[in-house]
Structure 1
Amino acid sequence: MGASKVIHAIYTDDDVLMSAVKKIKAEKHHIEEVFTPFPVHGLDKAMGLAPTRLAITAFIYGTIGLIVSIVMMNFIMIEDWPQDIGGKPSFSFIENMPAFVPIMFELTIFFAAHLMVITFYLRSRIWPFKDAENPDPRTTDDHFLMEIPIYNNNQLELENLLKETGAVEINIVEKDEAH
């Protein structure tokens, strides 16, 4: 069961936010989420997040695209309907592979790019008509929000720590358990 209350600490500078994240993690507090208007370099490492595995899926999707292109061209151009194009008969895939390389390259990129976008949206739980989960609209403009769950009545300690780290605003919010 998660915390029923969370602290939303608002920051106005990304460098202050980074030092705050490092200090809060050093004090062994769990940071649930950080909302930023732009990517903050190094924030994932400072929060202790695991590295992404999306690069592995990109390689797998590219490989699938390459296999699909090879199977497709072999069936269409060699097995199903071989043609003599410009005096070059289609007797085997290997003999015609130089002509097939651009298609193989394009389908590799096509599959990797499109399936990566779909994977990213599904993994991020972003789909059409989904309600925004952003707790404060200012984080889409120029503010940074750090969300920290409150456990075992550590609210006062957290508030003091957040004020020390440079938070310009601290709010206590009831957490919706549906998220």
Structure 2
Amino acid sequence: MMSSKVIHALYNDDEVVLEAVKKVKAANHHIEEVFCPFPVHGLDKAMGLAPTRIAIASFFYGLTGLSIAIWLTWYTMIDNWPQDIGGKPSFSWGENMPAFVPIMFELTVFFAAHLMVITFYMRSRIWPFKKAENPDPRTTDDHFLMEVPVHGDEEELTALLKETGAVEINVVEVEDAH
């Protein structure tokens, strides 16, 4: 295993960290990660992250839920156990569809929401009982941490981070898993 250095720059304001990310990226430094206590609007664009495709997945998950709802209402109310409800016997799904709209809506939302959460956890590699990867517990309360690998002049990078408004800068040795 090889070890390398990263700099943890701590900030205490979301607007300051957003501007700092822009300045560090403009100076051609790679930002490994930014840890925040809450979402910061525009941080993903400032870091140059690709847009997420979870909305596309959500659409297909919703279609899956809608398809299952249509099949379920047809199977239970038309095919398997047709009933004369309120004196209105209608044994076709199309004529009964308005009564099935709440079921179709609820299953569409149920499938989209639950499968999106599962997809998010799998993509983020957040498993039950996984050890937290947060380098500083203050980022869950009121601080923002920018993690920048040191590739070159450590003093120049530290000076740049101080210039961007960092309240604390720590150089940390990390073990590479390669």
User: Structure 1 length as normaliser, TM-score?
Assistant: 0.93
Query: Using the alignment, how far apart are the partners of 1:106 and 1:98 within structure 2?
Result: 14
- Greater alpha carbon shift after TM alignment, 116-125 vs 131-140: 116-125
Query: Using the alignment, how far apart are the partners of 1:37 and 1:178 within structure 2?
Result: 27
Match of 1:149 in 2: 149
User: Paired residues, what number?
Assistant: 178
* Matched residue type, 2:138: R
Query: Using the alignment, how far apart are the partners of 1:154 and 1:112 within structure 2?
Result: 48
* Matched residue type, 1:23: K
- Contact 1:3–1:150 (CA under 8 A) maintained in structure 2: no
Gaps in structure 2 of 5+ consecutive residues: none
Query: Using the alignment, how far apart are the partners of 2:115 and 2:65 within structure 1?
Result: 10
Gaps in structure 1 of 5+ consecutive residues: none
Query: Using the alignment, how far apart are the partners of 2:98 and 2:177 within structure 1?
Result: 55
Identity of aligned residues (%): 73
User: Structure 2 length as normaliser, TM-score?
Assistant: 0.94
Provide the secondary structure at the position in 2 that maps to 1:4.
strand
Query: Using the alignment, how far apart are the partners of 2:155 and 2:44 within structure 1?
Result: 26
Query: Using the alignment, how far apart are the partners of 1:149 and 1:90 within structure 2?
Result: 68
Query: Using the alignment, how far apart are the partners of 2:177 and 2:3 within structure 1?
Result: 12
Map 1:106-145; keep pairs closer than 5 Å: 106-145=106-145
CA RMSD of aligned residues (A): 1.8
Aligned: 1:161 with 2:160: yes
Match of 1:104 in 2: 104
Task: Give the drift of 1:135.
Answer: 0.1
Match of 2:174 in 1: 175
* Matched residue type, 2:154: Q
* Matched residue type, 1:142: D
Structure 1 runs (4+) deviating above 3 angstroms are none
Match of 2:24 in 1: 24
Task: Give the drift of 1:3.
Answer: 7.4
